[in-house]
């Protein structure tokens, strides 16, 4: 087997050789944003690039039409998965920069595949749709997509080079209130106001916010509030995101939120029904051994990837958190926008499709590919990653 430095030089050269293709892929996905589970264009584009490069590619895996799986390398070495995301946001397109994630992931896969047989490693490329609230990785995990995977990695664009995203576990909640309609002027006493129930539930959650931990968040909107002012609203509805720093603490917060919403119904004589989304996102369990390897590889490219701090961090939720409870995982962030330009903004979408987004595609592909080589060639790294993972809190997550 060639020495590690030579292997890394080879994968870097492979990315450079394919740079035009990778940037074209990024620009085309950026220019044609698609919502979760509707990413048919991106799915066809990415799988065609992989298949044209001679990588065994399966489309529509796990009965998810826009998911894919591509494999290369030895059947006997460590199996490392690189994950691609490619869904967009309503109205603001690729304001989370998933075009960068997809292109960097494919670039890393193409480069790593070129040395997989020489190193004795196995590569899996997973196309994971609907990260933006749809829980595509959770769907795939429940259907066995991560079985046999030894490590998983991806990169995500941001406004700074960071070792990780500061994640919160999240579960979505819908609440529906049912009252009794009546003429609001002639005989309002005959009605039960579902809107009042929803408003009091909202106020109850607002009061609860004073007494939750700084790492917890609850935010909601009204999705139905009645039809006309002179009719006592018979139906009302609210939609909530409930977040906490770990999945375990999220489970403790959920009944407190629901109790506040139910109090609104009790106070107004209305009926409440609710539903928790079946795809809760877990917090991200960063694998520090893998992070260290990635940071060293990024530094070789001129990117100093550091830990989040007060001035530079990205707070949010991702279904990569669920994956990190199943296998050792990393989710580093690469700068594509000036500091202070947050993800999920129109400004960030412009940067993701521009020169800095292009640089992140190439650097991300190289750093990921070199880290894959590390995991294949350095048995001590993979052993350290496994030991660290095994010492974690366990795998009781919403994936099951």
**Is 365 among the domain residues?**
yes
> What CATH code is carried by the domain that includes residue 237?
3.30.70.360
pLDDT attached to residue 398 = 64
Average pLDDT over residues 204-211: 98
> Nearest CA to 375 among 280, 290, 267?
290
Residue 32 is assigned to a structural domain of this protein = yes
Return the pLDDT at 206: 98
Cβ proximity of 365 and 107 under 8 Å: yes
What pLDDT does 135 receive?
96
Is 98 found in the same domain as 143?
A: yes
- Provide the domain limits for residue 8: 4-167+283-390
Residues 81 and 155 in one domain: yes
**255 and 295 share one domain:** no
The secondary structure of 253-302 as a DSSP string is HHHHHHHHHHHHHHHHT-EEEEEE-S-PBPPP-B-HHHHHHHHHHHHHTT
* Three-state secondary structure call for residue 13: helix
* pLDDT on residue 392: 85
Whether 41 and 111 share a structural domain: yes
Q: Is residue 400 predicted with pLDDT exceeding 70?
A: no
Give me the pLDDT at residue 394, please: 63
300 and 338 share one domain? yes
Last residue of a domain, one of 231, 253, 276: 276
| Residue 397 covered by a domain | no
How many whole angstroms separate alpha carbon 45 and alpha carbon 292? 32
In this predicted structure, the answer to whether residue 217 has a pLDDT above a threshold of 90 is: yes
Supply the pLDDT for residue 76: 85
Output the pLDDT for position 399: 62
pLDDT in tens, 78-115: 999 999 999 999 999 999 999 999 999 999 999 999 99
Strands 56-59 and 122-127: unpaired
- Kindly tell me if the per-residue pLDDT of 395 is higher than 60: no
Report how many domains make up the chain.
2
Asked if the structure places residue 395 within a domain, the reply is no
CA distances from 291 to 53, 131, 363 (A): 29, 22, 16
DSSP state of 231: B
Instruction: Pull the structure tokens for residue 349.
Output: 């979408």
What would the two tokens of residue 259 be? 């109790």
How many other C-beta atoms lie within 10 A of the C-beta of residue 157? 27
Which of 276, 307, 334 terminates a domain? The answer is 276
Inside any domain, residue 255: yes
Whether 154 and 290 map to the same domain: the answer is: yes
Residue pair 345/316 in contact (Cβ under 8 Å)? The answer is no
Same domain, 16 and 156: yes
What value does the mean pLDDT take over residues 54-71? 98
Instruction: Please give the residue that has the higher pLDDT: either 392 or 124.
Output: 124
Domain CATH for 9: 3.40.630.10
Closest to 116 measured CA to CA, from 382, 392, 372, 287? 372
pLDDT band, residue 397 (cuts 50/70/90): low
Backbone phi, then psi, for 57, in 5-degree steps? -130, 130
Q: What pLDDT score was predicted for residue 90?
A: 97
pLDDT, residue 1, reads 53
Q: Do residue 50 and residue 147 come from a single domain? A: yes
Q: Which DSSP string do the residues of 350-396 spell out, in sequence order?
A: HHHTSHHHHHHHHHHHHHHHHHHHHHHH-HHHHHHHHHHHHTSS-S-
The residue count of the chain comes to 400
> Which 3 state secondary structure label does DSSP give 122?
strand
Span 326-335, average pLDDT: 98
pLDDT over 80 at 21, yes or no: yes
Domain match, 303 and 380 both: yes
At 135-181, the pLDDT tens digits run: 999 999 999 999 999 999 999 999 999 999 999 999 999 999 999 99
With beta carbons less than 8 A apart as the criterion, state whether 390 and 328 touch. Answer: no
Secondary structure letter of residue 312 according to DSSP? S
Regarding whether 147 and 10 lie in a shared domain, the answer is: yes
Tell me if 162 is assigned to some domain. Answer: yes
In the chain, count of helices (H) and strands (E)?
Answer: 12, 14
- Percent of the chain scoring above 90 in pLDDT: 94
Q: What's this model's pTM, rounded to 2 decimal places? A: 0.94
Q: Which pLDDT band, with edges at 50, 70 and 90, does 393 fall under?
A: confident
Pick the more confident residue, 309 or 294. Answer: 294
Of 221, 253, 276, which marks where a domain is finished? Answer: 276
Q: Are residues 79 and 22 in the same domain?
A: yes
Q: What is the mean pLDDT of the chain?
A: 96
**Residue 62 per-residue DSSP state:** G
Two tokens, residue 314:
């990205």
**Better-scored residue on pLDDT, 386 or 312:** 386
Mean pLDDT of 257-277: 98
The stretch 355-361 carries a mean pLDDT of: 98
> Are 65 and 147 found together in one domain?
yes
């Amino acid at each position: 087997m060639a020495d590690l430095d030579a292997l890394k030089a080879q994968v870097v050269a492979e990315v450079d050789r394919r740079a035009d293709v990778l940037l074209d892929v990024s620009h085309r996905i950026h220019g044609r944003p698609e919502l979760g589970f509707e990413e048919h264009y991106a799915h066809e584009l990415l799988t065609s690039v992989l298949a044209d490069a001679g990588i065994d590619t399966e489309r529509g895996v796990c009965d998810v039409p826009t998911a894919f799986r591509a494999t290369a390398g030895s059947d006997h070495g460590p199996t490392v998965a690189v994950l691609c995301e490619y869904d967009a946001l309503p109205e603001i397109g690729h304001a989370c920069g998933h075009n960068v994630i997809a292109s960097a992931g494919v670039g890393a896969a193409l480069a790593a595949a070129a040395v997989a047989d020489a190193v004795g490693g196995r590569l899996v490329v997973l196309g994971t749709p609907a990260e933006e609230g749809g829980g595509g990785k959770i769907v795939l995990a429940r259907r066995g997509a991560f079985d046999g995977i030894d490590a998983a990695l991806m990169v995500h664009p941001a406004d700074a080079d960071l070792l990780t995203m500061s994640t919160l576990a999240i579960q979505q909640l819908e609440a529906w209130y049912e009252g009794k309609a009546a003429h609001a002027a002639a005989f309002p006493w005959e009605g039960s106001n579902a809107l009042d129930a929803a408003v009091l539930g909202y106020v109850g959650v607002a009061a609860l916010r004073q007494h939750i931990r700084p790492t917890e968040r609850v935010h909601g909107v009204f999705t139905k509030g009645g039809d006309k002012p002179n009719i006592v609203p018979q139906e009302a509805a609210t939609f909530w995101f409930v977040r906490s720093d770990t999945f375990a603490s999220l489970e403790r917060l959920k009944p407190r939120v629901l109790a506040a919403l139910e109090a609104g119904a009790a106070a107004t004589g209305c009926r409440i029904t609710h539903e928790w989304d079946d795809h809760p996102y877990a917090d991200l369990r960063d694998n520090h051994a893998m992070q260290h390897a990635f940071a060293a590889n990024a530094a070789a490219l001129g990117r100093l990837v550091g830990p989040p701090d007060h001035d530079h961090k990205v707070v949010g939720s991702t279904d990569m958190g669920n994956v990190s409870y199943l296998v050792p995982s990393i989710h580093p962030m690469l700068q594509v926008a000036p500091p202070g330009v947050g993800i999920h903004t129109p400004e960030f979408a412009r940067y993701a499709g521009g020169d800095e987004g292009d640089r992140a595609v190439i650097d991300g592909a190289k750093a990921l590919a070199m880290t894959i080589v590390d995991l294949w060639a350095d048995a001590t790294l993979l052993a350290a990653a496994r030991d660290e993972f095994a010492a974690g809190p366990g795998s009781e997550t919403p994936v099951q």
